[in-house]
Amino acid sequence: MASIDVRDLIEDDLIDLSEVEKITSLSGKHIYALERAGRFPKRVKLGRRSAWVKREVYAWVRDKVLSRPVVATYPPLIRPRRHNTSSGTTGEAKTSRLHEGRGQPRPNIQRDEVTL
């Protein structure tokens, strides 16, 4: 009895536009534009409908990931917001509620104070 490799069936599955949008996080309009420009896998015409080969779409995503420049990533430097006391001097960092489960005060941080 011949065995069938399930991976062969899955890799050659055809997927519709909604699935391609989920995989790539691109809109249908952008996918069609990339396809017309020759920068995205071609559709398979199925009468009035069309689909993409799942393996080709994943290969396209993989190529995008591998072609990006490698940059070291570091957590952003966050400075706590300082507030004025009644005497007009800068006081301690304002703190909000405790980190849940950690018991440490969390600084009150404003979005515009984040330095990258």
In the chain, where are the structural domains located?
11-67, 77-115
Residues of the chain with pLDDT under 70: 1-11, 83-116
Q: Measured between alpha carbons, how far is residue 101 from residues 97, 104, 106 in Å?
A: 11, 9, 12
Q: Measured between alpha carbons, how far is residue 29 from residues 22, 41, 72 in Å?
A: 14, 14, 33
At residue 3, the pLDDT reads 66
pTM: 0.53
At residue 79, the pLDDT reads 72
**Taking a C-beta distance cutoff of 8 angstroms, is the pair 63, 77 a contact?**
no
At residue 102, the pLDDT reads 57
Level-2 CATH architecture, domain 11-67? Orthogonal Bundle (1.10)
Q: Measured between alpha carbons, how far is residue 45 from residues 37, 48, 51, 107 in Å?
A: 18, 7, 7, 56
At residue 38, the pLDDT reads 96
Q: Which tokens hold the place of 50?
A: 């069309």
At residue 78, the pLDDT reads 73
At residue 39, the pLDDT reads 97
At residue 71, the pLDDT reads 73
At residue 103, the pLDDT reads 57
